[in-house]
């Protein structure tokens, strides 16, 4: 009996050889890309500073007006245990623009608020005098677009969510933050907020410790912040020590609307 797809042994050997050849070729490409990518992300990338730094005052004022009148958003600016250091309200951020016009006011979706309060109560009990330092919270879409523009066309474009579909900051359900000790000093995390270095996230820490780029103390400081946030119900991002989501990306996109501005 002849099987419908049976072939001559010599033919099979030819096919197998071709498959093996393409598999090897494919694996070579994968290894090459992995090495090339890892090499690039290990270097310090700083987006070029704009020739004319801008202040987005009209947009920022509209955003504050929107946020203060939106029943789903809660202002966290004066919350006990929190300190504002909104980097996008200064020129000292990756875009080089002051996107919030110097306005140090932050907001969060009300469904993320209990998790923030939980983190603060853990700190109050276990690390009295320590505080959370907010770099960014709910973010309007215009700011997301400016951020995205600063990396478009670079190998780091994928680090920043689209200015159209947004990231979890654009739902009010993500926080960028650091931890300050009882003297008010930010704990040293070994990489600045919004750094594009691979060692900025947990994915690059083991290598960075080996190479001496990070110290054990810097990694311990990150782990302290991570433990507090995790116990409070926040989800960390593997590539950024400062970023925490209230829910997963999939859950958020399914259950919450984006800000209409
Ligand atoms: Zn973030």
One-character DSSP codes across 159-210: GS--TTT--GGGGT-EEEEEEE-TTSPBPP-SS-TT--SGGGSGGGHHHHHH
Taken as a whole, the chain contains a residue count of 261
**pLDDT tens for each residue of the chain, 261 residues long:** 333 333 344 444 454 455 555 556 555 554 444 434 444 445 577 888 899 999 999 999 999 999 999 999 999 999 999 999 999 999 999 999 999 999 999 999 999 999 999 999 999 999 999 999 999 999 999 999 999 998 888 878 888 888 888 999 999 999 999 999 999 999 999 999 999 999 999 999 999 999 999 999 999 999 999 999 999 999 999 999 999 999 999 999 999 999 888
Predicted local distance difference test score (pLDDT) of residue 32: 44
Q: Which residues pair with 177 in a beta bridge?
A: 134
Q: What is the pLDDT of residue 48?
A: 83
Q: Give 241 Cα–ligand 1 centroid separation in angstroms.
A: 9
Q: How far is the CA of 127 from the centre of ligand 1 (A)?
A: 24
User: Distance from the CA of 193 to the center of ligand 1, in angstroms?
Assistant: 9
User: 42 CA to middle of ligand 1, Å?
Assistant: 20
**CA 235 / ligand 1 centre spacing (Å):** 12
Question: Cα of 135 to ligand 1 centre, how many Å?
Answer: 9
Instruction: Name which of 160, 162, 175 is nearest 86 in CA terms.
Output: 175
Residues forming a β-bridge with 75: 107
pTM over 0.75: yes
Q: What 3-state class would DSSP assign to 44?
A: coil
**According to the model, what pLDDT value does residue 235 have?**
97
CATH topology of domain 57-255: Muramoyl-pentapeptide Carboxypeptidase; domain 2 (3.30.1380)
pLDDT at 209: 98
Domain ranges of the chain: 8-38, 57-255
Å from CA of 173 to ligand 1 middle? 10
């Amino acid at each position: 009996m002849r099987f419908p797809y049976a072939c001559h042994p010599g033919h099979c050997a030819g096919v197998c050889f071709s498959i093996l050849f393409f598999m090897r070729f494919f694996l070579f490409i994968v290894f090459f890309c992995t090495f090339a990518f890892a090499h690039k992300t290990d270097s310090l990338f700083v987006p070029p500073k704009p020739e004319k730094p801008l202040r987005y005052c009209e947009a920022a004022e509209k955003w504050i007006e929107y946020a203060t009148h939106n029943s789903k958003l809660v202002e966290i600016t004066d919350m006990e245990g929190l300190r504002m250091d909104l980097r996008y309200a200064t020129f000292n951020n990756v875009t080089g623009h002051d996107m919030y016009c110097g306005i140090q006011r932050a907001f969060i979706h009300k469904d993320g608020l209990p998790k923030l309060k939980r983190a603060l109560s853990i700190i109050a009990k276990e690390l009295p005098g320590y505080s959370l330092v907010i770099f960014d919270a709910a973010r309007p879409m215009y700011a997301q677009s400016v951020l995205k523009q600063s990396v478009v066309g670079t190998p780091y474009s994928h680090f920043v969510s689209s200015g159209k579909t947004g990231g979890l900051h654009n739902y009010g359900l993500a926080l960028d933050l650091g931890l300050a000790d009882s003297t008010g000093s930010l704990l040293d995390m070994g990489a600045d907020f919004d750094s594009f270095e691979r060692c900025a996230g947990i994915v690059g820490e083991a290598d960075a410790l080996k190479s001496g780029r990070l110290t054990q103390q810097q990694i311990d400081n990150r782990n302290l912040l991570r433990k507090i946030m995790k116990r409070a119900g926040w989800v960390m991002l593997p590539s950024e020590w400062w970023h925490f989501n209230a829910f997963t990306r999939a859950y958020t996109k399914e259950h919450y609307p984006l800000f209409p501005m």
